[in-house]
Chains A and B, each alone.
Chain A
Amino acid sequence: MTGLRYVYAVCRPLGAPLQAELTGVAGAPPGLLHHHGLVAVVSTVPEADFGEEALKAHLEDLDWLAATARAHQGVVDALTTVTTPLPLRLATVFRDDSAVRVMIEAREDHFRALLDRLDGRVEWGVKVYAEEAAAEPAGAAAASSAKPVSGRDYLRRRRERGQAKEETWQRAERFAHGLHERLSARAEDFRLHPPQNSALSRAAGLNVLNAAYLVPRAHSEEFVELVDRTKDEEPGFRVELTGPWAAYSFTGDTGDTGGTGDTGSAGDTAGAADAGEGVS
């Protein structure tokens, strides 16, 4: 056997079968590995691509990374339609089925606690973009290319620019904060993620809020409507909704509410439980 086991997610036994035509990472159909009343959703991946060295090299290749990430997400997405999966991080690879079983045994209490907490809930991503704030740098660049006639002129222009920016920031802050208050009141939990850089996300505008909300499926429609209603509330801002996602942002810990926005540390808390994390 030259195949390795790629694990997408852990869930409880499914009530319905997975879509027959579903393909996962490296084009292989995902299968279910039952163990101790839990299910690992796995597929076989070639060692040539997913061995340690090869994988490291591949992860630096943005095209490969994008295709793999989409395939990973495709399987997790399909699972989300039929159950509440615990999505694993990209490229969690094991030697064989028995290694996957060992992993499940080592963490089964943690998995069960998380599954109980997340059961029937999905994650919605909400981002707010300030369109003016992003337009600012372009305007500023244009202004500076027309050479200021004097030092005083330069300082005046700079002050005006600074004031306009400050006002936009204050408005963005107020709007994002108000929206977040309303949304978090309708959600069970939330995480504030660092804003996405537009150079990386290629989204128009400046990302001023990047939040994830944990919402019961039963309340999702209401939540989506609430987001929709805010869309044209304030000129100059764009609200974007993504989801429903598997509860990616809420798998790191068990009870605390978000708020500080540092999900990295939440993830690390879970990771610290296993020895492998400590190495790096």
Chain B
Amino acid sequence: MTTPSRLPEPYGQASGANLADILERVLDKGVVIAGDIRINLLDIELLTIKLRLIVASVDKAKEMGIDWWESDPALSSRARRDELARENAELRERLARLEELEPGRAPKEAP
């Protein structure tokens, strides 16, 4: 308190802080008192935290290479599933044709 003039000005610079910083503090931090009116502040806290978690967990999973939902036909559009099925059928057909041509070698390569 003895050297307030030595602080960088303007002192109230936090008022220009971004909303995420302000919300982070006024919603999650500070002294917690349940007032007379029992607003369950834990509700909003949970809400924001949940939102964060949902977004974060998707990022985190991708970062770890778990991105199966992007290529899983069951999770992508029907068009894509159809295309894969068609491609699959085509490949099976070609494989069958190859097996007919060289019956001796086909079983070895199967695995």
Determine whether the beta carbon of A264 is less than 8 Å from that of B28. Answer: yes
Verify B1–A56 contact, CB threshold 8 A: no
A131 to chain B minimum Cβ distance, whole angstroms, is 16
A199–B20 CB distance below 8 A: no
Which chain B residue shows the least CB distance to A194? B52
Q: Is B38 interfacial (CB-CB < 8 Å)?
A: yes
Contact between chains at B11 and A80 (CB < 8 Å): yes
| Residue B7 is within 8 A (CB to CB) of chain A in the complex | yes
How many contacting A-B pairs (Cβ < 8 A)?
187
- Smallest CB-CB separation from A249: which chain B residue? B29
Residue count of chain B within 8 Å CB distance of chain A:
51
Q: Given the complex, which residues of A lie within 8 Å of B31, measured CB to CB?
A: 10, 86-89, 114, 251-252, 270
**A115-159 interface code vs B (CB 8 A; 1 in, 0 out):** 000011000010000000000010000001000000000000010
A202 within 8 A of B: yes
The answer to whether B74 has its CB under 8 Å from any CB of chain A is no
Does B36 lie within 8 Å of A274, measured CB to CB? Answer: no
Task: Collect the chain A residues with CB atoms within 8 Å of residue B22's CB.
Answer: 69-70, 73
Residue ID in chain B nearest A243 by CB atoms: B14
In the bound complex, do residue A89 and residue B33 qualify as a contact, i.e. CB atoms below 8 Å apart?
yes
Asked if A218 CB lies within 8 Å of chain B CBs, one says yes
A119, B2: Cα distance in complex, Å: 12
Whether B26 lies near A197 (C-beta < 8 A) is no
Q: Does B40 contact A (CB under 8 A)?
A: yes
Q: Do A65 and B23 touch across chains, with their CB atoms under 8 A apart?
A: yes
Chain B, 44-67, contact with A by CB distance < 8 Å: what is the 0/1 string? Answer: 100110011001100100110100
Chain A residues contacting B37 (CB-CB under 8 Å) are 4, 50-52, 55, 93-95
* Interface presence of A238 (CB below 8 A): no
Whether B40 pairs with A92 at a CB distance below 8 angstroms is no
Chain A residues in 8 Å Cβ range of B14: 73, 77, 80, 242-245
Nearest-CB residue, chain A, relative to B37: A93
Question: When chains A and B are docked, how far (Å) is the Cα of A10 from the Cα of B32?
Answer: 12
Per-residue interface assignment for chain A, residues 29 to 42, with 1 indicating a CB less than 8 Å from any chain B CB and 0 otherwise: 00000000000000
Contacts of B41 in A (CB 8 A): 89-91
In the complex, B79 has a CB within 8 A of chain A = no
A81 contacts chain B at the CB level, 8 A cutoff: yes
